[in-house]
A and B are shown apart, each in its own frame.
Chain A
Amino acid sequence: MAKVLMKGNEAIALAAIKGGADAFYGYPITPQNEIPEYLSKHMLANGKVFLQAESEVSAINMVYGAAGAGKRVMTSSSSPGIALKQEGISYITAAELPCLIVSVMRGGPGLGSIQPSQGDYYQATRGGGNGDYHLIVFAPESIQETIDVIKESFDIADYYRNPVMVLVDGLIGQMMESVDFDRPVRERFLPNKDWATTGTKDHPGRRNVANSLYLDPQALENHNIHLNEKYKLIKKNETKFELVNFDNPEYVIVAYGTMARICRSAIEMLKKEGIEVGMIRPITLFPYPEKAFDQIPANAKGILTCELSMGQMLDDVLIANNGRHKVGFFGRAGGMLPDPEEIVAAIKNFNERVVK
């Protein structure tokens, strides 16, 4: 397929179909409505399942059911809707069911705004569901990267039997780009889903059960240890990041998603003024690319964390930096997008930005 001009949300929907989505369950919320709208047409037309649920609570539990039945299933939503999905996300993770959750962030807290934001970093990486669990979280910066990540996400979810969240903001959802849907996806060996609840006729002599209840403390601790081993493996295998302009940078920016795009422009502007600034761009937020921070030159003057929030990823930057460099923060929130000039100024006045 040649390159096509497409809106972010529709590209997400088509990429999910290309990734093999069997079913979609969701509930309308701006700024992600084009995802279910596109899927309602194209899933049903291809004999796949599309269902608008009565709430996000219900939608994520429909995802649980269909994922437990062994199908490739997805949902999408935005900030307040993802908040409602947290209960189901915890259960799905506990029952080790694979699925894809697309989160198109808008301004918060509360009803907030429908403008782009990165205020749900904690929601994605720390979660609001109960218990020790993690999602595999991707935070692409362009529509093309979003497509590539989504196409692979069902494989990753199936491989680890864990939900994958693709975290973008309203800007990526709403903008248009020329994109290619046929870029190759990494091949993975995927075992049969012999755990799926499809009826004992398919696996005589064995009952398959999707469950998260372990009343015996030792059994639950064993389950927690098992999940933790899996998260360690995910950390080892799936951590992804990009280093931008990293030959001996004076300062290093850390930014993801839309903010990383804005920072790229700022980096070019600073270069023209003779100031070399590198960037660590995390592509996975869990696992967080802590190792990337080892590549920051010892003589770098500082790290500037840039976010469309009041400072959430900042926590992970401080952990990864581990006291080696000064860490500063620049953020805009509420749906306000900074001009690159604001980031240029923040680098020039780095000392005023230092938080630790």
Chain B
Amino acid sequence: MWETKYEKSAGLTDSKLSYCPGCTHGIVHKLVAEVLVELGILDRSIAIASVGCSVFSYQFFNCDAQQSPHGRACALATGVKRVLPENIVFTYQGDGDLASIGIAETIHAANRGENITVIFMNNAIYGMTGGQMAPTSLIGQRTTTSQDGRDVAHHGNPIKISEMFSTIEGVAYLERVAAYDPKHVINAKRAIKKAFQYQMENKGFTMVEIVATCPVNWGLKPVDAMKWSKEAMEPVFPLGVFKDKGAK
């Protein structure tokens, strides 16, 4: 007698994921896919893939998709959602994409209260282009373009997106979560689900920031990368709910 105990989510295609071992992109893809299936919205969802390591997410999510220019995902999402208000529209963006080149598009989509969901993967580095400094890189963090470590006087401080966006009226739900252990992965899924539920209820702009990893460009083994995301990143990017319009 065989019994299915675990299977790949129907929210993912059969395409082989392009992510490195220990990278949280794969974990979060799975969470988003499961949520779309559990909420019964997969067949009316449109994924907006950004430019970064997750550029191929349009091949991975088992729904219709658009591939955006670098940083413009929230503009594409706005364009889609305004003409298809009954559909579910979400972006999947890295920190270079969202917090640097695309910060204007993201802030204004939030400020308009666009009824979209943003999955924001903050790994404190530019993964795809080979480990350059991101606006979210930590003070002292060595990257290929900050080889002596990020220096406040020269580069400024890491930008804190969730803190910033918590001041925006149009934001309905905003939570920062982590993915470095099973407990936090389960919690991340709860937050992602809530964000999509809010979108289904037309509550406004929703975003989940994930304190993510990039073992390859951090120069760490997968287990050590999970540790670094907990011990070095989390103190700078504290977890929690920053905004919840639905909370009583």
Q: Which residue in chain B gives the minimum CB-CB distance to A90?
A: B69
Q: Which of B20-28, B76-84, B160-168, B220-228 contacts A (4 or more CB under 8 A)?
A: B76-84
Whether the Cβ atoms of A58 and B72 lie closer than 8 Å is yes
Q: Is A313 an interface residue (CB 8 A)?
A: no
Knowing A23-B82, A62-B78, A199-B44, the reply to whether A213 touches B108 (Cβ < 8 A) is: no
Q: Which of A68-76, A226-234, A303-311 contacts B (4 or more CB under 8 A)?
A: A68-76
CA distance A191 to B84 in the complex (A): 21
Q: Is A51 an interface residue (CB 8 A)?
A: yes
Within 8 A of B (CB), among A63-91: 63-69, 71, 73, 87-88, 91
Q: Is A197 an interface residue (CB 8 A)?
A: yes
Q: Which of A2-10, A200-208, A289-297, A343-351 contacts B (4 or more CB under 8 A)?
A: A200-208
Chain A contact residue count (CB 8 A cutoff): 39
CA distance A248 to B112 in the complex (A): 61
Whether the Cβ atoms of B69 and A65 lie closer than 8 Å is no
Whether the Cβ atoms of A57 and B72 lie closer than 8 Å is yes
Q: Which residue in chain B gives the minimum CB-CB distance to A211?
A: B67
Knowing A69-B83, A199-B44, A201-B44, the reply to whether A55 touches B66 (Cβ < 8 A) is: no
Whether the Cβ atoms of A209 and B80 lie closer than 8 Å is no
Of the candidates A68, A198, A204, which one forms a contact with B76 in the assembled complex, judged by CB atoms under 8 Å apart?
A68
Main secondary structure of the interface of B (DSSP, over half): helix
CA distance A317 to B55 in the complex (A): 42
Q: Which residue in chain A gives the minimum CB-CB distance to B67?
A: A211
CA distance A25 to B112 in the complex (A): 14
Within 8 A of A (CB), among B93-115: 104-105, 107-108
Knowing A198-B64, A199-B45, A199-B63, the reply to whether A66 touches B82 (Cβ < 8 A) is: yes
Q: Which residue in chain B gives the minimum CB-CB distance to A62?
A: B79
* Interface size class of chain B, counting residues whose CB lies under 8 Å from the partner chain: 35 or more
Q: Is B178 an interface residue (CB 8 A)?
A: no
Whether the Cβ atoms of B87 and A198 lie closer than 8 Å is yes
Within 8 A of B (CB), among A176-233: 197-201, 204, 207-213
Q: Is B208 an interface residue (CB 8 A)?
A: no
Whether the Cβ atoms of A207 and B66 lie closer than 8 Å is no
In angstroms, how far is the closest chain A Cβ from the Cβ of B65? 5
Question: Inside 8 A of B67's CB, which chain A residues have their CB?
Answer: 95, 209-213
Interface residues of A (CB under 8 A from B): 22-23, 25, 49, 51, 53-55, 57-59, 61-69, 71, 73, 87-88, 91, 95, 197-201, 204, 207-213
18 contacts between A and B (CB under 8 A): A23-B83, A51-B82, A54-B104, A54-B105, A55-B104, A58-B104, A61-B79, A64-B69, A66-B82, A88-B72, A197-B66, A198-B87, A199-B43, A199-B46, A199-B63, A200-B42, A204-B43, A209-B67
Q: A62-B82, A65-B66, A200-B42 given. 20 additional CB < 8 A pairs?
A: A53-B75, A58-B105, A61-B68, A61-B79, A62-B76, A64-B75, A66-B83, A68-B79, A69-B46, A69-B79, A73-B79, A87-B69, A88-B69, A200-B64, A201-B43, A204-B43, A208-B64, A209-B65, A209-B66, A211-B58
